[in-house]
């Protein structure tokens, strides 16, 4: 099938493209390269399928749909830094919401009715109970990033009713890890998430890890999260696309392993795998952090036949391999990167 992947030069996008190519799908990539890396597409051998640009550019989108005639869209393109969204909410609503409605209007104009949407567990904020199910939990985002994703989920319900555009919204929990063989992975240059930060300490890139809060009501006082392997997450996108095409039914799934790990669990696992005893500094809580959140992914297992194959050790081991072989992320050097015209 011909699939347009927006944000395909990003971390989850490039891993999803890797799985799409394995399953013989035809891929077109739209990416502004603001946060994505063309090197990932070079590694995947599809840089010739890249159109450089933003989902806010209606004319460019029209050209892409006219020229490539995608049959489905997997939409990753968005900003995703919680901290940045709090400082600059306007950028987040402009790019994540307006960029998406521009894409949706183009899909409607070109009669493309299938969308897999990259959403987030951040739409729940602090969950009212655990594990978090798709519908019986309050959606109460605590930052503009999560809010922007919730707004899009609501917009998608109206585009379904008015235009028959069907979507599957995937609420990611904490994604980590890298493809086997470390061919592609997460660029940690700007990463502030826990696992890349702890691996930076293990590899001596930084000299310590700050633990944001050790007085939470959890088994060891540190926050609990549901870490999900990026390859398991990628598979869920393909299963969701196939589900849409066979059932023509819009829906949403929470994607996690259903297992919670604390910050100290992660740190101990990194110590065990790397053998490095890096410094850990207990620091004050980070505003907006829920004490604990983990998924109930039974709906995705039951309806998609989705199975997670990797655990926390696999995520940390694969990420460790990737970062060891790519200490400067995708930019091995500051060499000029040739960017094809969009």
Q: Is 209 helix (H, G, I), strand (E, B) or coil?
A: strand
The residue among 179 and 266 lying less far from ligand WQD, judged by its C-beta, is: 266
List, in sequence order, every residue forming a beta bridge with 280; answer none if it has no partner.
209
Q: Is 8 helix (H, G, I), strand (E, B) or coil?
A: coil
The residue among 112 and 151 lying less far from ligand WQD, judged by its C-beta, is: 151
**Cβ(269)–Cβ(316) below 8 Å:** yes
Residue from 121, 150, 152, 170 touching ligand WQD (CB under 6 A): that is 121
* Binding residues among 174-213 for ligand WQD as defined by CB under 6 A: 174, 192-194, 197, 209-212
Query: Least CB distance from residue 136 to ligand WQD, whole Å?
Result: 20
**Catalytic residue from among 92, 145, 243, 310:** 145
Interaction between residue 289 and ligand WQD (CB under 6 A)? yes
**Cβ(104)–Cβ(160) below 8 Å:** no
Interaction between residue 122 and ligand WQD (CB under 6 A)? yes
Query: Least CB distance from residue 267 to ligand WQD, whole Å?
Result: 9
The residue among 57 and 226 lying less far from ligand WQD, judged by its C-beta, is: 226
The residue among 70 and 141 lying less far from ligand WQD, judged by its C-beta, is: 141
| Separation of alpha carbons 154 and 165, rounded Å | 13
Interaction between residue 116 and ligand WQD (CB under 6 A)? no
Q: Is 111 exposed, middle or buried (0-12, 13-18, 19+ CB in 10 A)?
A: exposed
Query: For 311, left (φ over 0), alpha (ψ -120 to 50), or beta?
Result: beta
Q: Is 225 helix (H, G, I), strand (E, B) or coil?
A: strand
* Binding residues among 135-164 for ligand WQD as defined by CB under 6 A: none
- Find where tokens 């989705």 sit: 306
Query: Least CB distance from residue 94 to ligand WQD, whole Å?
Result: 18
List, in sequence order, every residue forming a beta bridge with 281; answer none if it has no partner.
210
List, in sequence order, every residue forming a beta bridge with 208; answer none if it has no partner.
279
Structure tokens at 115: 């969308």
288-299: b or e for each residue (b if 16 or more CB lie within 10 Å)? ebbbbbbbbbeb
The residue among 110 and 286 lying less far from ligand WQD, judged by its C-beta, is: 286
Query: Least CB distance from residue 299 to ligand WQD, whole Å?
Result: 18
* Binding residues among 23-62 for ligand WQD as defined by CB under 6 A: none
Q: Per-residue string for binding with ligand WQD, 218-257, x by CB under 6 A?
A: -----x-x--------------------------------
Query: How many residues in total does the chain contain?
Result: 342
| Choices 28-36, 114-122, 181-189, 303-311 (CB under 6 A): range interacting with ligand WQD | 114-122
The residue among 76 and 243 lying less far from ligand WQD, judged by its C-beta, is: 76
Interaction between residue 88 and ligand WQD (CB under 6 A)? no
320 is catalytic: no
**Cβ(342)–Cβ(60) below 8 Å:** yes
Other Cβ atoms within 10 Å of 280 Cβ, number? 18
The DSSP element (H or E) to which 196 belongs, if any, is: helix 194-202
Other Cβ atoms within 10 Å of 156 Cβ, number? 23
The residue among 13 and 70 lying less far from ligand WQD, judged by its C-beta, is: 13
* Binding residues among 253-282 for ligand WQD as defined by CB under 6 A: 263
Interaction between residue 80 and ligand WQD (CB under 6 A)? yes
* Angle of the 230-247 helix axis to the 11-22 helix axis, nearest 10: 60
Active site residues: 145
* Interface ranges with ligand WQD (CB under 6 A): 80, 82, 120-122, 172, 174, 192-194, 197, 209-212, 223, 225, 263, 286, 289
């Amino acid at each position: 099938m011909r699939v347009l992947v927006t944000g395909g030069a990003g971390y989850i996008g490039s891993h999803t493209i890797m799985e799409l190519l394995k399953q013989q799908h035809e891929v077109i990539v739209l990416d502004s390269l603001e946060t994505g890396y063309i090197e990932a597409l070079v590694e995947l051998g599809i840089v010739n399928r890249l159109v450089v640009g933003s989902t806010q550019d209606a004319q460019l989108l029209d050209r892409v749909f006219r020229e490539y005639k995608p049959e489905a869209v997997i939409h990753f393109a968005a900003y995703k830094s919680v901290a940045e969204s709090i400082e600059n909410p306007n950028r987040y609503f402009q790019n994540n919401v307006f960029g998406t409605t521009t894409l949706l209007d183009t899909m409607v104009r070109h009669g493309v009715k299938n969308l897999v949407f990259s959403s987030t567990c951040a739409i729940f904020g602090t969950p009212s109970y655990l594990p978090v199910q798709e519908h019986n939990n309050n959606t109460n985002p605590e930052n503009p990033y999560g809010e922007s994703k919730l707004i899009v989920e609501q917009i998608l319900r109206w585009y379904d009713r008015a235009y028959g555009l069907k979507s599957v919204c995937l609420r990611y929990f904490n994604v980590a890890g890298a493809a086997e063989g470390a061919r592609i992975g997460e660029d940690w240059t700007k990463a502030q998430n826990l696992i890349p930060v702890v691996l930076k300490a293990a590899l001596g890139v930084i000299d310590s890890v700050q633990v944001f809060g050790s007085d939470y009501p959890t088994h060891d006082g540190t926050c609990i999260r549901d870490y999900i392997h990026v390859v398991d997450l990628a598979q869920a996108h393909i299963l969701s696309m196939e589900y849409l095409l066979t059932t023509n039914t819009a829906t949403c799934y929470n994607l996690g392993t259903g297992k919670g790990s604390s910050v100290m669990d992660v740190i101990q696992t990194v110590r065990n795998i790397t053998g490095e005893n890096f410094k850990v500094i207990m620091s004050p809580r980070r505003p907006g952090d829920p004490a604990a959140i983990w998924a109930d992914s039974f709906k995705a297992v039951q309806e998609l036949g989705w199975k997670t194959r990797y655990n926390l050790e696999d995520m940390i081991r694969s990420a460790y391999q990737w970062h060891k072989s790519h200490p400067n992320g995708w930019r091995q050097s500051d060499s000029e990167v040739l960017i094809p015209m969009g």
